[in-house]
Structure 1
Amino acid sequence: MFYQEEKVMKAFQLYTSLARQGVLNAEAVQLYKADDEIRGLLDRFSQEVDCVIIRTSEQLFLVPQTKLSPFHISNEWIKRHYLKSGATNGDIYLLYFAIIVLFGNFYDTYQSNEPTRDFIRIDEWAQYINERILHLQSHDEEELKKSEKEFSYNWRLIIEKWENMDDIKETAKKQSGNTISRLSFIDTVRRFLVDEDLIKDIGNEEITLTEKSKMIIQRFFMEVEYNKGILEFIYDFEGTEQ
């Protein structure tokens, strides 16, 4: 397909801004929606770096689709910037597990189009993780080993990491220090998600999803070909279509 030079240059300008910032404003959204050629060029540019463009009503986001993307956040980067000194892959597994549980609790069924609740309290999030850990523990050793090979998740290490953390104190309002308590760990995951614009603090120890996270969840998290098996295993989603 032949593109006019001005369209190519405009699309490339938008792409370079996305590559630097990761997000563009409403003006870019309108251009992306209205101009088929610029949209097609932007999508092709993003595919070349293993990314996809996610569009909300007011923003465009460049989101890595595979680990091969230069924009992919590595496990080592997360360890250095968010986790305690000496963090292992087990801490990373637990961080991802906590995120999946959080997102899952905003929806009442598999393939939901919209969240079914507006916010979640931090202490509720901790309780939901504990419930899912107990669910994992209900499986026998062989079943966990089989699932680990299927999903490339080390469920037993996730259980061990969670169990080795201090119990949640009912009187604790906020723990963001250097302890290894469960609430402290969850606070670390919260900071990571806030920094990535995937959740927003709304006060009173409550968090809500952002438009960016809703679009990512709709496109990937709830998509059958991506995570159905994992959701069924850890969260009891049954995959029934609405």
Structure 2
Amino acid sequence: MNYPEIKVIRAFQYYTVLARDGVLPVEAVREYQADDDIRGLLEKFSNAVDCVIINTSEAMYLVPRTKLSPFHVSNDWIKRRYLRTAATNTDIYLLYFATIVLFGSFFDRYNSEEQTIQFLRLDDWVKHINERVNFLQSHEEEDLIAYEKEFSYNWRAIIDKWEDMDDIKETAKKQTGNTISRLSFVDTVKRFLISQQLIRELGNEEITITEKAKIIVQRFFMEAEYNKGIFEFIYGFKGDEA
């Protein structure tokens, strides 16, 4: 398909900002929705780098579709920016696990595609992770080993890392990433998710998910093609129940 030169230039200008910042303002969303040429070109550009474009009522985002995308956030980058110097892949596994549990809390544990609560307290987030870790612990060792091969997820390492964290200061009103405790780890995950524009703080140790997060969950996390059955396993769903 041939596009007018002015449309190609306009779309490429939008794409360069998306590639640099990962986000465009609402004005770009309106043009994207109203102009078939701009929309078609932006989708071609994003597909070329294995990304998708996500629109909310307030902004447009460029989101990597797979880890093969040059815009994918690597494990090493997360370690350097958000975790302790001595962080290992197990810390990354636990960060991903905590994120899955967070989204599950907002979407009624994946029984619903609509957000079912408006906010979540950090201490409740910790409690929800405790519940899911306890569920993992309910499996026999041999079964967990089999599930690790099936999902390429180190469930036993997640259990051990969470169990090793200090519980003494869990009731403290203020926790920071300098304290190795469950609440402080959740605080670290919170900072990472805020940087990715997936959650925002409401104050009083409460957080909520963004429109960007909601759309990502609905379009990708709910699809078996992308989640590979991990969510059904974590929440103990079976077959049609999921």
| TM-score using structure 1 length | 0.95
1:168/1:71 CA distance change after superposition, 3 Å: farther
Q: Which moved more, 1:225-234 or 1:126-135?
A: 225-234
* SS of the residue 2:175 aligns to: coil
Tell me which residue corresponds to 2:216: 216
Corresponding position of 1:127: 127
Higher mean displacement: 34-43 or 220-229:
220-229
Q: 1:134 to 1:241 in 2, by over 3 A?
A: closer
Amino acid paired to 1:182: R
- Is contact 2:46-2:53 (8 Å) kept? yes
Distance 1:168 1:133, change over 3 A: farther
Counterpart secondary structure, 1:172:
coil
Partners of 2:239 and 2:20 in 1: how far apart? Answer: 37
Deviations 1:137-175 (A, max 9, x none): 001111111111111110000001001101164531121
- Aligned partner of 1:137 in structure 2 is 137
Question: Contact 1:167–1:182 at 8 Å: present in 2 too?
Answer: yes
Quote the RMSD (CA, aligned, Å). Answer: 1.6
Q: Displacement, 1:236?
A: 2.8
**1:81: which partner in 2?**
81
Matched, 1:55 2:66: no
Hey, what does 1:107 align to over in structure 2? 107
Distance 1:14 1:111, change over 3 A: farther
In the alignment, is the contact (CA less than 8 A) between 2:176 and 2:184 conserved in 1? yes
The answer to whether the 8 A contact 1:111-1:222 is kept is no
Question: Which amino acid in 2 is paired with 1:198?
Answer: L
SS in structure 1 of the partner of residue 68 of structure 2: coil
Consecutive unaligned residues of structure 1, counting only runs of 5 or more, are none
1:70 alignment partner AA: P
Where 1:178 maps in the other structure, the secondary structure is: coil
Between 200-209 and 167-176, report the one with greater CA deviation: 167-176
Q: Which amino acid aligns with 1:178?
A: N
Tell me which stretches of 4 or more aligned residues in structure 1 moved more than 6 Å: none
Structure 2 distance, partners of 1:126, 1:223, is: 26
Deviation at 1:19, TM superposition (A): 0.7
1:62 Cα offset (Å) = 0.3
Q: Distance in 1 between matches of 2:29 and 2:56?
A: 8
Could you tell me how far apart the structure 2 residues matched to 1:57 and 1:232 are?
A: 30
Partner of 2:26: 26
Does the alignment pair 1:201 with 2:186?
A: no
The structural deviation recorded for 1:17 is 1.0
How much identity, in percent, do the aligned residues show?
69
Q: Does the CA contact (< 8 Å) of 1:110 and 1:241 recur in 2?
A: no
Give the letter aligned to residue 67 of structure 1: K
Q: Is residue 2:118 matched to residue 1:149?
A: no
Q: CA offset at residue 107 of structure 1?
A: 1.1
Equivalent pairs, count: 242
Amino acid of the residue matched to residue 133 of structure 1? V
Q: Which runs of 5+ in 2 are unaligned?
A: none
Change (3 A) 1:86 1:114: same
